[in-house]
């Protein structure tokens, strides 16, 4: 026999799957990075602080008297504030897409994708921080609402409404993350977001009851996720039928997440 030792060829080294613990560690590190960025750039919180104040004051004092009557403005506060809770997620979500797009142009995402971390962790960390900003904006909105006379008859229902808003916001943010990846500029993301937000916001029950709308528009508002979320929040906070609205909002949130999250992750992985 030959003295030469025969050895099998070495198996190629594979990357392997990143475990759950490592994923959570990566997400935590990226969340901390995003929070530190907000700390260095506090102006990035202006939308979460000013939008709730401006929208609440604007609609209560400018449109409240016309819609509910001058002497019934208190009732309009109870109507519009739960609706504005539904709108907060949409506005914050638009900022997710524009910020994500800007990170690509600054080269931040190229550095992230060169690291041995899960690609999904970059997206999940971004959404986690934005959900925190959404909760902050909701707290500001409710504070202004209480100052204007908002009443809540069911405190657990208030927290349930906030949780439902966050869940829907989580689903809608995947749409804007996808737009942030596929569109070429932050301005394009903002423009597309405007085209999506305007019909959904004003073709809903957020600002006014839908009973005065034409039949074809009422048919749209019945399935508009912002209408179902606003109606669910009102019912949870101050009583009323909620089963249909809550189930519809949960269904919208699940469908948006299950459909758009894989698309966003795949587009992010494949972006050159």
pLDDT score at 14: 37
Q: Are 91 and 131 in contact (CB under 8 A)?
A: no
Q: Which two tokens stand for residue 197?
A: 């937000």
Helix or strand run (H / E) with residue 136 = helix 119-147
pLDDT score at 215: 84
pLDDT score at 2: 43
DSSP 204: S
Digit-coded pLDDT (tens) for 189-229? 888 888 888 888 888 888 888 888 888 888 888 889 999 99
**Smallest Cα–Cα separation from 85: which of 183, 229, 185?**
229
**In tens digits, what is the pLDDT along the chain, a chain of 272 residues?**
444 444 444 433 334 466 777 778 878 888 888 888 888 888 878 888 888 999 888 888 887 766 666 557 778 899 999 989 888 878 888 888 887 788 777 777 767 767 777 777 888 888 898 899 999 999 999 999 999 989 999 999 999 999 999 999 999 999 988 988 888 888 888 888 888 888 888 888 888 888 888 888 888 888 899 999 999 999 999 888 889 999 999 999 999 999 999 998 888 878 75
pLDDT score at 166: 92
pLDDT score at 246: 94
Kindly report the three-state secondary structure assignment for every residue of the chain: CCCCCCCCCCCCCCCCCCCHHHHHHHHHHHHHHHHHHHHHCHHHHHHHHHHHHHHHHHHHHHHHHHHHCHHHHHHHHHHHHHHHHHHHHHHHHHHHHHHHHHHHHCCHHHHHHCCCCCHHHHHHHHHHHHHHHHHHHHHHHHHHHHHCCCCCCCHHHHHHHHHHHHHHHHHHHHHHHHHHHHCCCHHHHHHHHHHHHHHHHHCCCCCCCHHHCCHHHHHHHHHCHHHHHHHHHHHHHHCCCCHHHHHHHHHHHHHHHHHHHHHHHHHHHHCC
Maximum distance among all Cα pairs of the chain, rounded to whole angstroms = 105
pLDDT score at 11: 39
pLDDT score at 71: 57
Q: Which two tokens stand for residue 217?
A: 């528009």
């Amino acid at each position: 026999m030959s003295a030469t030792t025969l050895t099998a060829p070495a198996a190629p080294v594979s990357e392997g799957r990143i475990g759950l613990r490592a994923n959570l560690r990566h997400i935590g590190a990226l969340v901390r990075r995003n929070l530190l960025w907000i700390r260095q750039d506090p102006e990035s919180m202006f939308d979460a602080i000013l939008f709730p104040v401006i929208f609440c004051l604007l609609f209560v004092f400018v449109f409240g008297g016309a819609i509910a009557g001058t002497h019934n403005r208190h009732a309009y506060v109870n109507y519009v504030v739960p609706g504005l809770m539904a709108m907060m997620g949409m506005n914050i979500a638009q900022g997710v897409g524009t910020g994500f797009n800007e990170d690509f142009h600054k080269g931040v995402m190229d550095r992230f994708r060169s690291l041995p971390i899960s690609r999904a962790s970059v997206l999940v960390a971004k959404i986690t921080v934005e959900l925190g900003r959404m909760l902050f904006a909701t707290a500001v909105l409710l504070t202004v609402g209480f100052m204007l006379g908002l009443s809540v008859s069911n405190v657990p229902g208030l927290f349930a409404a906030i949780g439902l808003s966050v869940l829907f916001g989580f689903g809608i943010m995947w749409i804007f993350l996808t737009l942030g990846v596929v569109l070429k500029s932050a301005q394009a993301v903002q423009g597309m977001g405007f085209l999506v937000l305007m019909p959904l916001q004003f073709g809903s029950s957020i600002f006014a009851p839908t009973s005065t709308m034409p039949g074809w528009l009422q048919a749209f508002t019945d399935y508009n996720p912002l209408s179902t979320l606003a109606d669910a929040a009102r019912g949870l906070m101050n009583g009323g039928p909620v089963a249909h609205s809550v189930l519809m909002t949960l269904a919208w949130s699940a469908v948006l997440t299950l459909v758009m999250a894989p698309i966003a992750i795949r587009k992010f992985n494949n972006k050159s």
